[in-house]
Amino acid sequence: MLKIMFAVADNDGDGALSFEEVTAIHKRIFDRVDANKDGKVTPEEVQGFMRD
């Protein structure tokens, strides 16, 4: 599973994650968790995300 997640985050396919690639994947996750799109993540939003 970790290899798959790494491969998805490694956008340029160089076998390593750059700061930009790590930041981009974190932003994608944050945006998915931030259900009301207010730029903040609450414990309730995290719980909702984990349930889905």
Q: pLDDT by residue (tens digit) across 11-33?
A: 999 999 999 999 999 999 999 99
C-alpha dihedral (44, 4, 7, 30), degrees to nearest 10: 0
Q: pLDDT by residue (tens digit) across 39-52?
A: 999 999 999 999 98
51 burial via Cβ count (<10 Å: 0-12, 13-18, 19+): exposed
Q: How far is CA 25 from the centre of its chain?
A: 4
* 2, amino acid identity: L
Q: What is the pTM of this model?
A: 0.76
Of 13, 9, 14, 40, nearest in space to 26 by CA = 9
